[in-house]
């Protein structure tokens, strides 16, 4: 694969009938790695990535491994996708611990931290990335159950993971949260999803202030449209076909184009960045 990302010109209509979707069933396959060498910027680090089996999470796991980090990959039940991600991590000589679990539940988030410590003895990087989204045409179509579950996965898990990881984090540790362009622009058919992403931005800013004295940096990435399994799992085929074409760059991002932001934020190169949000969104201007 060339170091210059050459995304497909067209995405055919498609639909997946499960959340959060399967990468193995996508057409075309997302680009999650490149030929760039790793620079060992995360040598000896251990990273926990929720939603790490596919999409942005997969690419982050692979690029972290290239930089020298072992990774803990928490995911729901997409076992084949997760095994592929683990294989790519191990290809770069690093360890991958797979933990299938539902992060909407507090006890499962605690278990992720406990298993990570049992396996690796320390934690250096937290990537809160798991998310679901369910398109609804009206506020009245959003059930209380959907609203609650979206919040439990998309923001409650970020709180639980960070809270239980905190006793093991120290000066130089990093927390990176996945927000979204919808936190700033909104989305008329993703009201609950957008609300959780706005909460993630505020959570990031507040937590960064709380942990600054401990030397723990907290930042976020707010992607625009990205070609991940969440897209065919969320939208009708006709909308998938047009996905991302309304950005100034005229296409959705590939996961690897977003994952580089996480590598930067996790590295010492970002040592003076905390409480900030990076915006790889294809050219949309947002009020940060």
158 is catalytic: no
Q: Which two tokens stand for residue 202?
A: 């505020």
Residue 129 contacts residue 175 (beta carbons within 8 Å): no
Q: How far apart are CA 246 and CA 18, in angstroms?
A: 26
Q: How far apart are CA 185 and CA 249, in angstroms?
A: 17
Q: Which one from 32, 160, 193, 262 is the annotated catalytic residue?
A: 193
Q: HEC profile for 144-188? A: HHHHHHHHHHHHHHHHHHHHHHHHHCCCCCEEEEECCCHHHHCCC
Distance of CA 267 to the CA centre of its chain: 17
Residue 152 contacts residue 104 (beta carbons within 8 Å): yes
What amino acid positions are annotated as catalytic residues? 193
């Amino acid at each position: 694969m060339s170091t210059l990302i050459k995304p497909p010109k067209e995405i055919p209509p498609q639909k997946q009938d499960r959340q959060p979707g399967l990468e193995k069933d996508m057409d075309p396959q997302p680009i999650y790695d490149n030929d760039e060498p790793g620079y060992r910027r995360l040598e000896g680090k251990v990273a926990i990535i929720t939603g790490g089996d596919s999409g942005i999470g997969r690419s982050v796991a692979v690029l972290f491994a290239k930089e020298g980090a072992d990774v803990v990959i928490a995911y729901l039940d997409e076992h084949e996708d997760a095994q592929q991600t683990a294989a790519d991590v191990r290809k770069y000589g690093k360890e991958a611990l797979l933990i299938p679990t539902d992060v909407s539940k507090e006890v499962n988030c605690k278990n992720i931290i406990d298993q990570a410590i049992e396996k690796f003895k320390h934690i250096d990087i937290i990537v809160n990335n798991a998310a679901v989204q369910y398109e609804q045409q009206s506020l009245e179509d959003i059930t209380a159950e959907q609203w609650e579950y979206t919040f439990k996965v998309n923001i409650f898990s970020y709180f639980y993971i960070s809270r239980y990881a905190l006793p093991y984090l120290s000066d130089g540790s990093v927390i990176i949260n996945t927000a979204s362009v919808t936190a700033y622009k909104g989305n008329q058919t993703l009201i609950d999803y957008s609300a959780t992403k706005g909460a993630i931005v505020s959570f990031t800013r507040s937590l960064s202030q709380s942990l600054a004295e401990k030397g723990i940096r907290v930042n976020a990435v707010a992607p625009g449209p990205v070609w991940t399994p969440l897209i065919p799992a969320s939208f009708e085929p006709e909308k998938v076909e047009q996905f991302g074409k309304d950005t100034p760059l005229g296409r959705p991002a590939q996961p690897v184009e977003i994952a580089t932001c996480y590598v930067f934020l996790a590295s010492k190169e970002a040592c003076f960045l905390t409480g900030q949000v990076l915006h790889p969104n294809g050219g949309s201007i947002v009020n940060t």
